[in-house]
């Protein structure tokens, strides 16, 4: 995230999923299934979504669907396994 910010972009981390609160209730973040790990925008206003994976990490079908939907609607979106991958996505 630091390298992306230092390049002049605004970037945010998505907290997704469900967690159990201290009193036993379930809390859902409300984000759609497959929402990317990181999202933000470039100085020109172009929005981006980045799914972060390790070298061997598998992408789930709902994550692929989310990224494809974002691309179809004009956002930059992709899977990053390195800082370089993330910057390639952001720079188009």
Percent of the chain with pLDDT over 70: 100
Q: How does residue 92 score in pLDDT terms, banded at 50, 70 and 90?
A: confident
CATH number, position 77: 3.40.1350.10
Angle at 36 between CA 35 and CA 40, to 5 degrees: 115
- pLDDT for position 67: 98
Q: How does residue 2 score in pLDDT terms, banded at 50, 70 and 90?
A: confident
Q: Which domain holds residue 20?
A: 2-90
Q: Integer distance in angstroms from the first to the last C-alpha of the chain?
A: 17
Sheet containing strand 47-52, edge to edge, reads 10-13, 38-41, 47-52, 76-80
Count of domains for the chain: 1
Residues ≥6 apart with Cβ < 8 Å to 86: 3, 4, 38, 50, 52, 80
């Amino acid at each position: 995230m630091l390298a992306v910010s230092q390049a002049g972009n605004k970037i945010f981390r998505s907290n997704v999923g469900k967690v159990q609160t201290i009193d036993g209730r379930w809390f859902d973040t409300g984000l759609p299934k497959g929402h990317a790990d990181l999202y933000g925008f470039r100085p020109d206003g172009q929005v981006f979504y980045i799914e972060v994976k390790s070298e061997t990490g598998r992408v789930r079908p709902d994550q692929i669907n989310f990224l494809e939907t974002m691309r179809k609607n004009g956002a930059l979106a992709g899977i990053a396994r390195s800082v370089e991958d993330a910057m390639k996505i952001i720079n188009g």
